[in-house]
Amino acid sequence: MQLRIGTRGSALARWQADWVAAQLRAAAVDVELVHIATQGDQQQGPIGAIGPPGVFTKEIQRALLDGRIDVAVHSLKDLPTDVPTGLCLAATPERASVADVLVAPAWGQWLKLPPGARVATGSLRRRAQLLHARNDLVMCDIRGNVETRLRKLQEGQYDAVILAEAGLRRLKLEGQITEVLPLSLLLPAIGQGALGIEARGDDRGTRQYLESLDHAATHSGVTAERALLAALHGGCLAPIAAWGRIEGERLVLTGRVLSGDGSQRVEATLYDHPAEAESLGRKVAAVLSEAGAGEFIQAARVLPPQ
């Protein structure tokens, strides 16, 4: 049996697809990689202005529905919570680091950045949390893949750039990291550090092969995070952060929502049995909504592109 794996063409996306392919080949599955360009790859400008949720995934999902590929590999944080009819999230392999990192060669650490330092990020989630901690910094939007962002930093366009630790380590660029930022400062995006592997819901043969790649603790954690995001109607570009993890025998979920300028923040942490991941996500979302999260999310939707 041959499985055709669809992926974006960036270096990080290829790493992810290659990793999945290697796991399947180890199980004696014949694999072919199919590179697919997405709307998000083809457009320029601030990430919040290039299109609706799914700009990095819809073309790959369409190819899966059309039967041109059998498996889609995504960065889970790019995958909208509204899964198209006919598809399913077949596996979430063990999660890498959920942390964000600072790359600031001249300064090294977050607290050593001088007032007015230009900090680059394409994420409103990161921008709002960092401004909440330090409103003396200048947040700058940045686009492009990891290599492009690092090049812009090296050219002196910015003083620092914020990136996901998992992506840098997967690309063997961990030597660029000057500080791993604590989760108390910067809670991750929904699904950060995790892969999402999709298949057609009626393709039982493919799903059986993918089941071996699923990691139960990761699956529970990201399911809770995605349920929180769906309940808040936030989309992947809103200033929403969450972290679901197993502690002992409990699934713990922390959610955080901020105003776009970072001046206001609400946070909640609850726990439940791992089997109740979706319910837990909705419960944390309800607590955040009661505290005003909906107003923050709505206001962020009308913010001009940064």
The H or E element containing residue 149 is helix 146-154
Element (H, E) at 300: helix 293-301
Is there a catalytic annotation at residue 78? yes
Torsion of CA 188, 185, 251, 296, to 10 degrees: -70
Q: Which is catalytic among the residues 18, 66, 78, 159?
A: 78
Tokens for 114?
């001088």
| 87 CB-near residues (< 8 Å, 6+ apart) | 61, 64, 65, 72, 198, 199, 200, 201
d(CA 48, CA 50): 6
Q: Are strands 100-103 and 160-164 parallel, antiparallel or unpaired?
A: antiparallel
Determine the residue type at 174.
E
Query: 258 exposed, middle or buried (CB, 10 Å; 0-12, 13-18, 19+)?
Result: buried
CA separation for the pair 66, 197 (Å, rounded): 17
Cα dihedral 87, 5, 205, 276 in deg (nearest 10): -50
- Which of the residues are catalytic? 78
